[in-house]
Structure 1
Amino acid sequence: MPGFAPPVTDERTALTAYLAHQRRTLRVTAHGLTDDQARMAASASELSIGGLIKHAARCETFWTDLILQQQSGPRRSADESDADEFELAQDETLADALAAHAEAASRTDAVIAGIPDLSQAVPVPRGLPWFPAEVEEWSVRWVLLHLIEETARHGGHADVIRESLDGATLYPLLAAAERWPDPWFRPWNPRN
């Protein structure tokens, strides 16, 4: 796949293509990592690539549940912290996090494909301090834009973490993961 989102013909295609592209660039930051490397917080923050992918999967699930009006309350239990959501625990694997992310993305894509109008209302959850109390609903369009923003933000975090881990950057990782031909980008190789 190219390093950019494909050309788009309409709003729905644009939103879903850009979301797919941001997902792919987040996922490729994990290319070639071991579970232990995926758990490492290699920058000034406590974030790890595995934890970011786990969080991105939970975010997509949360927002898709909202679209379907299946969300009944906070996403986590009272004994779970922010760290739990952003951490790949010792009993979790990178492969598990990637599979959960792919499953959440596939579900989101299927739900969006079945919605005829992106203006469809999505109720704003109540009782969560980060949601505006004065806003009663968003549109599916807004949710897609937010998912693009959220995924891109965490993809940027993952880029910094990956470069801190072993010097790998996005385009050499894409070249390695997708077997791009030389000479444009030297594919990442753990021995380089």
Structure 2
Amino acid sequence: MTIERSDPPHSADEVGMLRGFLDHYRATIRLQASGLSDEQLDQSLAPSDLTLGGMLKHLAFVEDYWFSHHLAGHDPAPPWDTAPWDDDPDWDWHSASGEAHADLDALLAAAIVRSDACLDATLAADPDPGRPVARPRDPARGPTVTVRWVLVHMVEEYARHAGHADLIRQSIDGATDV
């Protein structure tokens, strides 16, 4: 598996800048998990139970949740549509244990491709990042978010987990320059 990571642009329009940072952090997470065995992907850094494998699956879910479900208005797709969320609200994290690295990386890579397609279609229909997403949130959770909010949130989501990935990876094999 070859993962290309480019630096975010120094100059771009708003959407180009946000997508550049999002792509950079997407690649960063996948690089942090690259080269590890399936067993290493299941290792956590005590006292946390976060693993790099769980992170790959969680981010695949988050990609589908925000871009496909909310932005494009699609119903949840497998495996999210039948996940036992009521039994385990962190099912995406926990269910990754024992799954092969190649399968988890493929799940995230496919989610990224779907997310980019949803974003491209949304922006082709209306390039305004300030417009609301197709599927409003439950009003009890706050107002409907915008395309801009989804992009900023996804940059935040990946950047936060990139820090976690740095610590987990270093605890596994000492790598600090991934």
2:140 aligned residue? 133
Counterpart of 2:146 in structure 1: which amino acid? S
* Count of residue correspondences: 164
Q: How does 1:73-152 map to 2 (within 5 A)?
A: 76-78=83-85, 80-87=87-94, 88-90=96-98, 92-114=99-121, 115=123, 116-122=127-133, 123-126=135-138, 133=140, 135-152=142-159
Unaligned runs of 5+ in 1: 127-131, 174-192
- Aligned pair partner of 1:19 in 13, 22, 37: 22
Aligned to 1:178: none
Letter in 1 for 2:131: Q
Structure 2: which 5+ runs fail to align? none
Counterpart check, 1:29 vs 2:41: no
1:66 corresponds to: 70
> Which protein has the larger Cα radius of gyration, Structure 1 or Structure 2?
1
SS of alignment partner, residue 163 of structure 1? helix
1:78 Cα offset (Å) = 4.3
Distance 2:112 2:137 in 1: 21
What is the CA-CA distance between 1:77 and the residue it aligns to? Answer: 2.6
Indicate how the Cα distance of structure 1 residues 77 and 84 shifts in structure 2: closer, same or farther if over 3 A, else same.
closer
Provide the TM-score with structure 2 as the length reference. Answer: 0.82
| Shift of residue 62, structure 1, vs aligned partner | 0.5
Structure 1: distance between partners of 2:143 and 2:48 = 34
- Could you tell me which amino acid in structure 1 is paired with residue 74 of structure 2? Q
Q: Following superposition, which runs of at least 4 residues in structure 1 exceed 4 angstroms of deviation?
A: none
CA distance in 2, matches of 1:134, 1:26: 28
Please provide the CA RMSD for this pair: 2.2
Conservation of the 8 A alpha-carbon contact between 1:43 and 1:161: no
Distance verdict in 2 for CA 1:2–1:60, change over 3 Å? closer
1:29–1:162: 8 Å Cα contact kept in structure 2?
Answer: yes
